[in-house]
Amino acid sequence: MAEEYDSLLPIANVGRIMKKILPPSAKVSKEAKETMQECASEFVSFVTGEAADKCHKENRKTVNGDDICWALSSLGFDNYAGAIVRYLHKYREFERERAAAAAEASNQINKATTTTTTTTTSQQDCTDHKAASSSSEDDQHDQLEFFSVLQKGVTSSSKSSSNPEPNYQ
């Protein structure tokens, strides 16, 4: 019996999905949530098993999104497969854009660090050590402020849509 519970989707997630589709005033019984949990878990296991069999025949150990789409089609769930293919395409596109934005932010940080290092080195060569020291502290403060703002921008853009909603149109 314990093994059965290990293979079920979390009931809180199932209930949350059910409530999204219903009117706000609707109530969902515990029995309805449990029934849907069992059905959804069985469906996921069925499709995943078919995809895993395909991977095993192809001597691969990792099931990917394309395998799931293939399994849906081969099991006769063509409408689901089409929707999942579109979602998978959009998801991969989003991930490429996010990776490109992260790489660009990293390049900007590296450029700023290189520029600051060069500036700090030339300032240390100044004859007036006290003035150079004061200027260097100001530059370091500006640099820290810049990195803080840049980090917030990168973090908020990467968190803004880490799990895009599917659009089945």
C-alpha closest to that of 50 among 31, 32, 27, 75: 75
Find the mean pLDDT for residues 143-166: 45
pLDDT at 43: 95
What string of DSSP letters covers 97-116?
HHHHHHHHHHHHHHHHHHHH
| pLDDT tens digits, 42-98 | 999 999 999 999 999 999 999 999 999 999 999 999 999 999 999 999 999 999 999
For the domain 1-60, what is the CATH superfamily, name and number? Histone, subunit A (1.10.20.10)
The more confident residue out of 78 and 135 is: 78
Domain ranges in the chain are 1-60, 91-169
Output the pLDDT for position 125. 55
